[in-house]
Amino acid sequence: MNSRQLRRRCILDADSRTLLQTAMEELGLSARDHGRTFRVARTIADLDGSDAIRASHLQEAINYRSLDRRLWAR
């Protein structure tokens, strides 16, 4: 799925949008990181059997992203 398809098919609710925006600001995520996090959240939602990406899916994806950044910073 490219970025355009993600934005069109994966609509976030207000809480999820706020969570993602906060994570981008606090973790210094780039636009590429945003897309990767969004894709991981979509995968987590799929594995959970959910049609929508919920805040819990997004939080898990953000946790993976921040863990990834810490491991690669060494």
DSSP per residue over 3-49, as a string?
A: HHHHHHH----HHHHHHHHHHHHHHT--HHHHHHHHHHHHHHHHHTT
Q: Look at the chain and report how many structural domains it folds into.
A: 1
The pTM assigned to this predicted structure is 0.80
Which domain, by its residues, includes 19?
3-72
Looking at residue 38, what is its pLDDT?
87
What is the mean pLDDT for each group of 10 consecutive residues in the chain (74 residues)? 75 87 87 87 93 92 77 52
